[in-house]
């Protein structure tokens, strides 16, 4: 069954139509890479899925149930949007770690805050927090940064900061993890460690949406590729279909440009 179905997502900024009827679906454990030239709407699409932008039209179906309908947006209050959001994790291009917290605190903070309203926390505070911390350490281990747990963001390299940002997103146990060009802000020699973490997540069947300009990486990791141009889905298929036999000239030109780099 599809974990996620995005149906006809449209978004305008003023009169500019940035997304037009974007639809796609994800099955459990699937990795979808989103490609497209600068300004084609990739970031906006991810931001709509995380409700950082309000889509003008479209529906989001989660595990067969309607999660979000743009037509009903005004009926959702802050709390409802927050809950919907938690199905998605978001890893920003620029990491956006919280500077005043250590790597570990960055990872567990939101979970701790969310836990405070749960019955488990009311029943046994200490145990709930310990459990969150244990899980946080596990995630740090998983991304290979448990030795940096007490480092502040400024003490970490860009690659390490991005890995912590991934850990922070994972800690909320999202159904779908979204990456917006996770390596674009990094020096070339640091992209490898971040891609490795994402690859290991793919191997563990994490459901992911990855906006990237790393063509080789997309080909290796993605099960499906979606190519966008001017807010429209131009290609949608397996890496072989999209990258080896693109149906439009625009896609061909785009691929040539980026693969040459």
Partner 1 sequence: MSFIQVNLNLWNGFQNTLLIFALTLIFSLPLGLLISFGSMSKYRLLRYPINILIWIVRGTPLMLQIMVIFYVPGLIFNAPIASRFNAVIIAFALNYACYFSEIYRGGIQSISKSQYEAGQVLGMTKAQIFFRVILLQVIKRIIPPMSNEIITLVKDTALARIIVVVELLKEAEILATRGMIWPLFFTGVYYLAFVGILTLMFNYAEKRLQYFRA
Question: Which of 153, 182 has the CB closer to partner 1?
Answer: 153
Closest CA to 178 of 2, 81, 19, 51: 51
Q: By CB under 6 A, is residue 43 in contact with ligand ATP?
A: yes
Nearer to partner 1, 118 or 238 (CB): 118
Distance of alpha carbon 151 from alpha carbon 198, whole angstroms: 22
- 22-to-70, 132, 219, 244 alpha-carbon distances in Å: 13, 37, 22, 23
Stretch that binds Mg ion, among 15-23, 38-46, 115-123, 134-142 (CB under 5 A): 38-46
Read off the tokens for 70.
């743009």
By the rule CB under 6 A, 98 interacts with ligand ATP: no
The sign of the CA dihedral 8, 199, 88, 37 is negative
74 is a contact residue toward partner 1 (CB under 8 A): no
Segment near Mg ion (CB under 5 A); pick from 35-43, 49-57, 134-142, 163-171: 35-43
- Minimum distance from residue 33 beta carbon to ligand ATP (Å): 13
**Number of amino acids touching partner 1 (CB under 8 A):** 29
C-beta nearest to ligand ATP: residue: 43
Residue-level length of the chain: 261
Q: Is 43 in the site for Mg ion (CB under 5 A)?
A: yes
Binding map of ligand ATP across residues 9-28, x = CB under 6 A, - = no contact: ----x----x----------
**82 vs 252, which CB is nearer to partner 1?**
82
> Could you count the other beta carbons within 10 Å of the beta carbon of residue 116?
11
CB atoms within 10 A of CB 111: 19
Using CB under 8 A as the binding rule, whether residue 169 contacts partner 1 is answered as yes
Closest separation in Å from C-beta 40 to ligand ATP:
4
Q: Is 150 in the site for partner 1 (CB under 8 A)?
A: no
Nearer to partner 1, 26 or 243 (CB): 26
Q: Which of 113, 126, 188, 249 binds partner 1 (CB under 8 A)?
A: 113
How many Å apart are CA 146 and CA 4, to the nearest integer?
Answer: 32
Kindly state whether residue 42 participates in binding ligand ATP, applying the rule CB under 6 A: yes
Asked whether 62 and 175 are in contact (CB, 8 A), the reply is yes
Write out the two tokens for 229.
């141009």
By CB under 6 A, the count of residues binding ligand ATP is 10
Rg of the chain over CA atoms, in angstroms?
A: 19
Q: Measured from the CB of residue 177, what is the shortest distance to Mg ion in angstroms?
A: 17
| 40 touches, from partner 1, ligand ATP, Mg ion, none (C-beta below 5 to 8 Å by class) | ligand ATP
Token pair for residue 39?
């300004």
Residues that bind Mg ion (CB under 5 A): 43
């Amino acid at each position: 069954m599809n974990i996620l179905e995005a149906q006809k997502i449209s978004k305008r900024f003023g009169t500019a139509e940035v997304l037009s009827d974007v639809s796609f679906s994800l099955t459990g454990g699937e990795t979808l890479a989103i490609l497209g030239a600068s300004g084609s709407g990739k970031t906006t699409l991810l931001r709509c899925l995380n409700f950082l932008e309000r889509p003008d039209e479209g529906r989001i179906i989660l595990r067969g149930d309607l999660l979000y309908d743009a037509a009903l947006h005004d009926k959702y209050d802050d709390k409802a949007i927050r809950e919907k959001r938690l199905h998605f994790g978001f890893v920003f291009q620029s990491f956006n770690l919280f500077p005043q917290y250590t790597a570990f605190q960055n990872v567990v903070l939101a979970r701790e805050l969310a836990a405070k309203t749960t019955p488990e926390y009311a029943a046994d505070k200490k145990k709930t927090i310990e459990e969150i911390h244990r899980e946080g350490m596990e995630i740090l281990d998983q991304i290979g940064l448990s030795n940096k747990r007490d480092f502040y963001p400024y003490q970490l390299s860009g690659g390490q900061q991005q890995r912590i940002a991934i850990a922070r997103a994972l800690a909320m146990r999202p159904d779908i993890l979204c990456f917006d060009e996770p390596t674009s802000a990094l020096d070339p020699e640091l992209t490898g460690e971040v891609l490795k973490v994402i690859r290991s997540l793919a191997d563990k069947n994490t459901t992911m949406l990855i906006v990237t300009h790393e063509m080789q990486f997309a080909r290796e990791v993605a099960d499906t590729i979606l190519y966008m141009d001017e807010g429209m889905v131009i290609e949608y298929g397996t890496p072989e279909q999209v990258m080896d036999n693109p149906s439009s000239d625009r896609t061909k030109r785009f691929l040539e440009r980026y693969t040459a780099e």
